[in-house]
Structure formats: structure tokens, C-alpha cells
Amino acid sequence: MEIIQLDIEGMTCASCVGHVEKGIKNIEGIDLATVNLATEKATVSYDPEKVDLETILGAVTETGYSASVYTGESDESEVKRKQVETKLRNMMIISSLLSFPLVTAMFVSIFEVNFLMFLHNPLLQLILATSVQFYIGARFYVAAYKTVKAGSPGMDVLVALGTSAAYFFSIFNGFIAESVGVVNSGLYFEASAIIITLVLLGKYLEMRAKGKTAEAIKKLMGLQPKSASVERDGEVIVVPISNVIPGDIIHVKPGERVPVDGKVISGNTSIDESMITGESMPVEKTVGDSLVGGTINSFGSVRFEAVHVGKDSVLARIISVVEEAQGSKAPIQKLADKVAAVFVPVVLLIAFGAFLIWWLVIGSLTSGIIAAVAVLVIACPCALGLATPTAIMVGTGIGASRGILIRNGEVLQLAGKLTTVVLDKTGTVTKGKPELQEIIPLNKMVENDLLQIAASLENNSEHPLALAIVDAAKDQQLKISETEEFTAIPGKGIRGKIKGREYLLGTESFMISNNIKIDSIVENKAALESRGATVMILSIVSDTASENIPAALISVADGIKENSV
């Protein structure tokens, strides 16, 4: 089975969702079809040996809608979305301006505002309402025609029928009723105009919500570099990320993002993988280690072989999880979908029934028409089918922008029943930046002197742990001394001379390899590490190996946020 996502255009309510799903599922070879109204996307699982993509797209077209293969959020799709949003906003503003005099006319008689009585002029109201009905509201007639023609009437049919009934009934009362001996029961142009204006307002707000959610996806995509330095024909050239293929040899310099997933083939470095793991401490990388696209190379240059590119990369899969979550359905939505499947026909029957009762039983044609229009108008927004998918779309989008990945709508619904929340420490409870926690002297030297020595050594390094020590020294206004014969051993530590005396700062294995006896401090070091800290050993190097001694344990960890306690 293969899974594809389709962009669906023309859906306006939950009934539309049911029609599209039914149209796709009726094709042989379809395993699963899920349509989301809020994201206007369909997720389809199909057997490519039994059905092809063109047949699936054709099935959607036959239901009265249009479909295309979703290729991911791009600049073009963002531009298109903003154009639609701008057009909706402009149409809504125009509709509001044209509807305002019609609504004002309702209050003129109530408050006896004589100088505005001209607003009751049938011809003036006809001109204003006609502009709204057939210029602003043309989209509803077009959509209604398409869905009726396909045998799948949706919300647009209700809007078109409801507003048309109010509009044409007003024409009858204003220009025809008296000439045929029927009592003029008033004008209802404002009803048709306001309905269209309010529906457009809902569409505009919905489009804005979609735009904000799309920004979360765009931020994730922004983590991936647009280009990569690739070896081609014996030289390193910069190529677009889309041109990188598995097997390419890529160069990454300090401070750059890793373009794609791969494996180190030469060099040593530390990688900030916080965007994937949430862990602020950089991870040492050497030959044979894996790299994840989008992570940041803290320091050191490496060459690596591209392994996973494009949609196969870790970052692309994360984006895919967010997009699938936005298109997923919560269990509670199943009830809404069942109701929506018969929603429009039932509403039409109820409206027709109300009209007949008022006309035939009570004897008032006018009240019958008003009652029928009221039923159609109340049903127009069809919020039943839109509320849940919109909540899922916005919820998952906001979650993604804050580093929370929500797998699907079902998980989001179940989250409401949580009684206990277990948080990952790093970046959630903590600041996401390493800070100096503690210095434990192992000889007669005082803490400030030890911090000054460590900061002087680390001042030559760009490692995040080094920056934490240097920042701590600057905060205490300690003088940073010049270091001579500085050497950095990636993944191990550093060494250098300060005022003629040699020091080492680094890992346990680094000390052992330099004949520093650390047996007596192992327990203290383990105790610090048990609190989640990274512990470095500062040692003094002597001309006599037996006099090489550790001078201090330096603990660096991700600090707790002030608002986490």
C-alpha cells in the first residue's frame, strides 16, 4: 500500500467531507481515505497495482470538487493562501459596507430617526442587496451548482437557498405585492445580506487560523538549510539542498547547520542536537557517527556522507508527523461525520416542513417563508463538522511551534483526561543552555582561582561547555589570563600553560591518558553526574608524573528556568 496526501479545493462543510471520502472509497484498491475539512487535505492509502493516481483525482472531481497531489508547504502555497485570505477580507469588508445601511434601516423606525427614513426605500435596498447577493455571494451559487450537479449538496446549497428566498421574497413585497392585491409584509433584504457577510467572516477567520498553523510547519522547514557544500569532480561546490543525493560527500563548517542526514567520514566535532532531542549539551561526533539534518555544528569541521535526503530525512519525517496529525480525526468527530452525512437533506426537509405548516395549517404564507429561511440560515455555518478539525489543526500547529509533537487527533482528545504529566527536563523545565553549577576544590586553591584558570583555558574554545565557564568567570569579574601552547583534543579535553604552569581540563579518560591519578575523586564525580550534570576535571601537570594531581571538579548543567519552580 502507498499513502498520498491530496489538496482538496471547494469543500465548505462536513457534508462535503463525507461526499469526498465516499467518492474515493468507492474505488477498488482504496484501503483508507480520510478527509479533513480544516486543512482541506485528504490522506489516501491505496494499492498502486489496482488503482492509479489519476483515477483517485478523477473520483474527487466527480463529487464536485477539485484535487491535486500535496507536495508540502512551499513559498508558492503560502503566497496562494495569503492571496485567498486577502481576497476574502476585501470581500467581507465590501459586503459589510453594503449591508450596514440595510441593517441600520431596521432601527430607523424603532428609534424614529426621521432623517434616515430614506433607507427604507425599496429601490435603494434592492441595489445594495443585489450587489451583495450576486457579486459577493456568487461563490455560493457556483459551489452550490457544482455540488448539486455531483449529487452531493453541501452548506453552499443552504446559503444559496436561504439568502435567495429572503432576497426574492423582498422583491415580491417591495415591487409586486400591492399590484396583485397581496399585503406587503416588509422587506428582508438585510437578512440575505447579513447571512452572506457573516458566512464570509467565518471563512476569513478560518483562513487566518489555517495561516497561523501553516507558519508552525514553515518554522520546522526553516530548520533545514537551503544549500549544501558538496564535493563534485574534485572540488567543493555549493548546491541547492534538493540536488543532494545519497552518497554525496558534504562539508560542514563550525556554526553551520547539517544539511541532510548522514555519517561522518572524517573530522571531529560537537553537534547541537537540541532541535531533535531537546538536550542542550552538544554531542561529540567522530568518524562513523550519524548526523541529523537541521542540527547545528558547534565547532570543528567534518566531512560526511549523505544517507537520508528529502522526505526520508528525520526532519522531513517530523514535519510529516505534524501534517498527518493536523489531518487526523478525533474519535468524537465520528459522531459529527455521521450527522453531517445526512445534514443538508434533513435541513431542507425541516425547512420545507416548517413552510408547509405555517402556510397550510396556520394560513400565513409570509410566516411560512420566514420560518423556512430561518431554518436554512441557522443551519448554514455547519459548525458541527468544522469545530473539531479546526481545533485539532490549531492545537497541533501551536504544539509544533513550541516543540510538542502530537501524533494524532485521538491523542489530543485523550490528553483531556490526563491526571499526571511527566516532563522531559531539558528545554522544558530547564533553560536549554549549559551553565556553571559548582566547583569543588581538591586542593588548597580557592574556587575563584580555580574558575579563573578554567576560564582562561576555555577562552580559547568555542565549545558550549567552555562558554558556560567563561561566562561564569565574567559574571564574577575575574580576569581571563592568556594561555600558551593551547591544544584541544576533540571529545576529550584541552591543555595549555598559564604563567608557565601547565593545566589539563577535560574528561576522566583524558586525565588517565595523561597520568593523572583520579581514583580518589571518582565517587564525588559520579555523585555530581547523578544530578544530570556534565563534570570536568581540572588538573595541574608537574614535571614529575607522581605529582600530577587533580585540582578541581567543575560541574556544568542545564539550569532550571525561574518559572519552572
Q: Show Cβ contacts of residue 117 under 8 Å, excluding neighbours closer than 6 positions.
A: 108, 109
d(CA 510, CA 506): 6
Distance between first and last Cα of the chain: 49
Which DSSP letter does residue 485 get? E
Q: Is 424 a catalytic residue?
A: yes
SS3 of residue 408 by DSSP: coil
Q: CB-based contacts of 104: which residues, under 8 Å, 6+ apart? A: 116, 119
Question: Contact, 307 vs 265, CB < 8 A?
Answer: no
Q: Find the catalytic residue in 233, 424, 519, 558.
A: 424
Segment holding 435, helix H or strand E:
strand 430-441
93 and 136 Cβ atoms separated by less than 8 Å: no
Q: Show the cell assigned to 117.
A: 427614513
- In angstroms and rounded to an integer, the radius of gyration of the C-alpha atoms of the chain is 34
Q: What is the DSSP letter of 257?
A: B
d(CA 476, CA 449): 11
Helix/strand/coil for 232: strand
Cα(190)–Cα(115) distance, integer angstroms: 19
Q: How far is CA 85 from CA 11, 160, 389, in A?
A: 16, 22, 19
Cell of 565: 519552580
Asked if 18 and 154 count as a contact pair (C-beta separation under 8 A), the reply is no
For 218-253, letters b (16+ CB in 10 Å) and e give bebeebbbeebbbeeeeeeeebebeebeeebbbbbe
Q: Which residues are catalytic?
A: 424
